[in-house]
Amino acid sequence: MLNKTNYLVKYYYIGLKKYHGSQRQKQYPSIEEKIIEALKTKNYIKTVREGSVNFASRTDRHVSARGAAFSFSTSKKLTLMEVNTALPKEIGLWASSSVPEGFFARFQAVSRHYKYILSKSSHRLRSLTQVQLDSMRKACKILKGRHDFQNFSKRKKDQENTVKDLDLVKMTELDEFIIFDFISRSFLRQQIRRMVRKIIDVGIGEMSLEDFKVLFDSTNYISYQPAEPEGLILWDINYGDEFELIEDDTSIERMREYFGEKKRHHSLKKKLFEQLLKRR
């Protein structure tokens, strides 16, 4: 029997319309499906089960990622660019590390970092005053820490524990954009997009900070639409200092060329691609 090596891999993707989210689905194309097909094509795995393929996160349609991660097992030495040649340019592997047997990318993650990019030119935000921006920052401070985030998530019949610890909630102004950063070990379905939606409501005066705090009361479920998915980026997944992820220069250059090209051709997503181009 051939000896196998377990790998942790970082990858990026752009949430194009043709993909129905990152998670595999029987009838629709997905990011995971493309990666699995590439691993099979290049003879790294035969099946998902045989290769112990485990993805660390799931994102909705139109959401992008810079530092998503998955783990798998193979008897072949991993060469990232070899896999990338079997992937479309909107998806790419760019860093890897060998990890112990039994390692699962989803469960070993220490924290997940998301960014949400919001244009001030949006009709709802076109005339924000400094006072309103300060109110949005106060809402961010309220979100930090341990809370019941049921009212900031998409409700499910078999609802999981909705208490989460948010380690970082930060709002930054950059040119004509507002960028939010959220870090936690894990997030609920649509949690970030719903937090952003309610932060916006506070900023434009549709919700007071006191009413914002009431959303932590899980006895009264409140239904509303989340912020649009296009501005959301899975920025990074942190695994601590135990593993040294080695970046592949050729793979990163492939990523930078793709983002640079798209930045020139898609002005509306210019800031998103500029953020994705940043290594840290």
C-alpha triplet 59, 36, 104: angle, nearest 5°: 65
Residue 255's CATH number: 3.30.70.580
What is the model's pLDDT at position 273?
Answer: 66
> Which are the catalytic amino acids?
60
Question: Could you tell me if 126 and 200 lie in one domain?
Answer: yes
Residue 153's pLDDT is: 94
Residues 256, 162, single domain; the answer is no
Q: What percent of the chain has pLDDT over 90?
A: 74
Give tens-digit pLDDT for 120-142: 887 678 888 999 999 999 999 99
Is there a single domain that holds both residue 129 and residue 105? no
> Are 120 and 47 members of one domain?
no
Residues 148 and 215 in one domain: yes
Whether residue 102 is found in the same domain as residue 150: no
Question: How many domains, in total, are found in the chain?
Answer: 2
- Residue 5, judged by CB atoms within 10 A of its CB (0-12, 13-18, 19+), counts as middle
Residues 225 and 116 in one domain: yes
Residue bearing the bigger pLDDT, 140 or 154: 140
pTM of this structure: 0.92
Same-domain status, 90 and 164: no
**Among candidate residues 101, 114, 211, 124, the one with its CA nearest the CA of residue 170:** 114
On whether both 13 and 64 belong to a single domain, the answer is yes
User: Residues 161, 198: one domain?
Assistant: yes
Condensed to tens digits (0 to 9), the pLDDT of residues 72-111 reads 999 999 999 999 999 999 999 999 999 999 999 999 999 9
Domain at 214, CATH number: 3.30.70.660
Residue numbers of the domain that contains 140: 111-232
87 and 34 assigned to the same domain: yes
pLDDT band at 269 (very low <50, low <70, confident <90, very high): low
- Residues 220 and 127 grouped into a single domain: yes
Structure tokens given for 97: 């590390």
Residues 168-215 have pLDDT tens digits of: 999 999 888 899 999 999 999 999 999 999 999 999 999 999 999 999
